[in-house]
Structure 1
């Protein structure tokens, strides 16, 4: 498969036209999604368009979407299946552009003079497509064969709406659509002119337009139509797929439950569980409705939109390209952003930490009894220590340590997260080594759902209701604060918590010879509880 090409400091898509369609392709126009916009290029011997990014990872993501549109264009030319639009479909598409144009300027329409100028330019573009004889007629008809002015003035709007729906249309349809968009954009300018003068009597959004219905697939050699995909069937197939293979990693039950909840709520909103009919407008309406209700934070809403995008990606993979072949329709959505929570508000306060540790002493479940203590004396992430096994604990001299590793199919956040952590004397006094010594070698000490179990226990049983608090991750920030107060060496603190190194002199943990010194630094941390 082709890849992005670096030209200067910017990445480009540049692909040659296949020989099989070279004659048909020359002079045609193809609309490509590039990030959040669409760009239209005329096909010559190749298709070339800037991906408008200097970042290689972002360039790859944009290239995949744009290249899919190019491939679809080639396929349409191979099969002589350029889409023909009806008059009703042209009206529907023009209505979408008109509505967008009115909404954008509703709050701040600008000056009346601006819209007078816009209407004048619109009129000049429309009249430039008429022959002198046609202009003398009482009801002149625009000449669709001579339309360079319309293309120059309104072609970008045509490209935008075609890209939105993944349409590759014939030249006659483009001429009809240009005319309809020209008429509706002039009407939108008229309404914005009135608003600029303070007259909101006509909102411009009440004019009825038909809803765009995609054309039926053209006759010809095609792949068999895919079976109807529902959100529930897509999730079930993904759950099954992840159980296959000797070293398969199943989808966690809690994750499955999360995706099914999002799917049910979105299906209820749009009154359909069918995946292949999902539109960006439906998802956008659902997102706005959740914001208007105000029960969920913007961060939670953004996560639900991301979950929905993931579901559609699963469907695309399961359908082997038959569903949304030009890309995920939700890629155009901008998820809402929430105000960042100050780090100090997410951190456990010392009294909260002590309350958790005291409560842990009375628990029988291993994750509730020991994970809070392990995080308190390491600043480790909960999913890191929750993967520990009995044989991860080892002794060097008089000091005990445990390994946080990716061996045995375990996962860590990044390369800096693999480390050996000293066991603080308070953990030994609590009986941690007796607990690990009684466990079977090679088996997990804690259940897979430890993170959720611990979070719920802190909120419900311990009773810490502070909304901004991160019940599990809050230990990480508290440990770093306490290590600073205890004057622990910065390099030791970074290594113990799995932070990225700032220099080549941070040699902690690179050999067993350094481990005793690391244990000395750990012992600087004062006790959380007395006795």
Structure 2
């Protein structure tokens, strides 16, 4: 039997020993283009595999023979796990519990305050988070800033933006579990779990730097890592091989959705993936999953990047192609492989690198922009042939967004029964029962007195039962009409706010937060109104009462337009 080299190698041009190991021949076709993070003592080293690379080489960064040998063995063991995992049939599908358990390791590594030490965090130019020595006051400010950046990424649901920062950490901890890759759904869940864990860890360090070393309630929220088979007895029999009969792409989406719907996945994800597969079938001019190749997926990527969006007249953005089209195909094909419907995932190695978008202004609407939209909404008259529901949406949704900071889609799906009066206060209920809510959780929001004066309760009272601004599709479909209405509202707002560097609908959420903070509204109340997650585990205890919310909302300045 042959054994791989496990001893450090001396280099003629350096006194530091080097790790060197040949890449096994059978995995050479699988590693090109991948980046691997390997442990190196208390640090890590990144290995970027190229098409011509035949060996893994890097400095062990120590002259101590014993330490060099330990680091050599540590890296060799991690590489061996990587080779083994590459030989598996398909990317792993992780549960939310497994993702949270893995994120717990990151949390514990960063939340340790380290009594007697002054070590803060720096966001490095290449996107990594690293520790750096500092004074307590500097440490507190640094962790507060880092926590705020993570909070913004979590709120924006920007998993692509989290990848450069957290992706290597995810890969390293996955590799320690013998997992080289996961499916697209699992990757998104992992990045979100890691972002939340790191945010909580930074919050703990921020409190420590301020002199608060009380027990952290977040430390108990992470479960222990368990594989799917732990506690279930013997391994099940191997699944049947891929059937020889034809498997259609549209059939795969339908069957995938049947399973994922039972697991609670949002209908909006199904709609996105279904549309992607429909466009893919139209591009291929056939519906046979067994005939799909990696070249087909690459061609489809180029085709989509050159496609003109008929609504905007512009080419489809690279972010849409990456996050919707490529991600959708990867997820569907990974599910098909895991369920023995396809032999391999032709989209597995297809990527699209996005450049960092320039930030030229605030994400919130300016005073002039806000007043322009509200003035036009107040005076809006229905266009020729325009549905009454659409006209009503253009009249009321901007005002509701201005005083609630809710997502435009959440307001556009409001129903007659979602408005109620409690004592002197009027409340709307934003609930996934009406359509879709990003957090999948219902919340109540107290209306600003100015909305009551403008006559919103009277408008609702006169409206017929059901949705206020939507005409539902066949069989009660909400998502299709909702997307159409959101498009109409975007066109309406964009005609008044031409600056392409601000989203005129989402800009209300940023502006509401700014206005609320300026008016003295507490963070806890602002988060409850806008549906943001609590910043700490302790923040999830108790409720923001209607009275507390009403008193806070009353602090907001009135929008006086004419």
TM-score with structure 2 setting the length: 0.47
TM-score with structure 1 setting the length: 0.49
Q: Give 1 or 2 for the bigger CA radius of gyration.
A: 1
